[in-house]
A and B are shown apart, each in its own frame.
Chain A
Amino acid sequence: MPPVSEQSSDADLLRAIADGQTAALRLLHHRHAGWLRARLRRRCADVDVVDAAIQDTFVAVWGDARRYEERHADAAAWLWTIAVRRMVSALRGPAHRWLSGDSGDLPDIATTPSAEELVLLGVEHGALGPALDRLSPELRHLIEATALDGLTVREAAKLLGIPEGTAKTRLMRARIRLRELLT
């Protein structure tokens, strides 16, 4: 196992972490904690919850870096998925842990960008941008949580503090409305 440095790729760092190198975990943390924090803070006003979610993420990565290798997913997307799920499960509070089911584990699904996410990448130049801006905030937040953040409807509901049923109907309404705006 060669020594890691600032120049090592995320994949190399994760391999070194799986090998038990603390230095690699530190490099990965220093590389990703900043943007993760900026992005999480847009979704949660409680700074302590955000910071704890980031800490949890890297502790989880330390214990289970091997899982990443098997999936060959993009490391940043993988880290984001872990972080946002950790944060959501913290929002539920310890009393409601049973609700979380298996989300205490690292995400299993390969975190390749979804079709919607790929569309979003084109937002800057296409017609999707204005359409999203015209969407009411409560509908837009659901699109954001599911399509962009990769959360399930249940997790999105918890993040936004609404019942799961409401989230489902709102998501459906959001899709219909978006389609209307785009045609």
Chain B
Amino acid sequence: MTTVTVRGLSKRYGSLTALEAVDLEIGVGVTGLLGPNGAGKSTLLRCLATALGPDSGSIRVHGFDPAVPAQRTEVRRRIGYLPQNPGLYPNFTTYDLLDYVAVLKEMTDTRQRRAEVRRVLDEVELTDRAKTKVRKLSGGMRQRLGLAQALLGDPDLVILDEPTVGLDPEQRMLFRALISRIGERRTVLLSTHQTEDVGALCERVVVMSGGRVVFEGNPRELAGVADGQVWLSGNPPEGSAAYWRNADGLYRVIGQRPEGAEAARPSIEDGYLMLLGRATIAEVAR
């Protein structure tokens, strides 16, 4: 089932084009938005989260149009949003912060609101930190708190902007487990520039570059983009731009087959680099 439909979405900041004619359809499950910095990921997410009005094009969330003020409120009732810099008040306790956001999310009945705060605290495993001030939380806990506020009110669409940035490997694992659990019955859209995140938890992946969508599919298909173009060679290749030396001392090359090289199974990262290379060439040509 389609939760979000985007048609011809464009956004410009002065002379800078952040989004150009983006078309997308997103349904239940975890979708990863992959792309380098400045690819337009955040701009797209902010438009979907109703934090930003686009210049042109249309968005529908469950059929509601965020460009119309009355329907925008309906969209907001159905989304949870974790911005890249959530700016959680440092002097609030975990509980108070969630209680405040719950009030903003129209939970006016005190009892019901408290039950909801308890529920999300439990979901992100922060129940025992309810009395801790935000500034005393570790980076991973703070990120889980950010996720918890997005989950208040059990939204159908959860939008997470770079949720795994700055987490150590252990926290990252915990966070991934959490997100995939959330994505079991909701639509989760998250941006990242880490291909491991995509491989680990996304059913679908959208690659963006220069404000455009350059790929849509599942992670296996993304790896497949580099099919027959990844090679392992004993010598540094000549004339190929993308290569590096791996742990076995062999050169991993993307592109033309170097002399005497063996074909290698492409990874998600190979596919992604391949796409970015093409997109860069296309941009230069434009």
Contacts and interface: CB of A to CB of B under 8 A. Distances in A.
Interface of A: 20-23, 26
A22 B128 CA distance: 5
Contacts of A20: 131
Contacts of A26: 127-128
A1 to B, nearest CB: 13
A54 to B, nearest CB: 18
Interface in B107-145: 127-131
A26 B130 CA distance: 13
A23 B128 CA distance: 5
Nearest to A20: B131
A64 to B, nearest CB: 16
* Among A20, A22, A23, A26: residue with most chain B CB under 10 A: A22
B36 to A, nearest CB: 41
Interface string B21-43: 00000000000000000000000
A22 B122 CA distance: 13
A127 B174 CA distance: 62
A21 B128 CA distance: 7
Contacts, number: 11
B54 to A, nearest CB: 44
Contacts of A23: 127-128
Nearest to A22: B128
A55 B3 CA distance: 43
Contacts of B130: 22
A22 B129 CA distance: 7
Contacts of B129: 22
Contacts of B131: 20, 22
* Ranked 9 nearest A-B pairs via Cβ: A23-B128, A22-B128, A22-B130, A22-B131, A20-B131, A21-B128, A22-B127, A23-B127, A26-B128
A155 to B, nearest CB: 32
A57 to B, nearest CB: 19
Nearest to B130: A22
A62 B88 CA distance: 27
A26 B131 CA distance: 13
11 contacts: A20-B131, A21-B128, A22-B127, A22-B128, A22-B129, A22-B130, A22-B131, A23-B127, A23-B128, A26-B127, A26-B128
Contacts of B127: 22-23, 26
Nearest to A3: B128
A81 to B, nearest CB: 26
* Among B127, B128, B130, B131: residue with most chain A CB under 10 A: B128
Contacts of A22: 127-131
A173 B109 CA distance: 54
Given A22-B130, A23-B127, A26-B127, 8 more contacts: A20-B131, A21-B128, A22-B127, A22-B128, A22-B129, A22-B131, A23-B128, A26-B128
A22 B93 CA distance: 13
Nearest to A24: B128
A26 B129 CA distance: 13
A150 B127 CA distance: 35
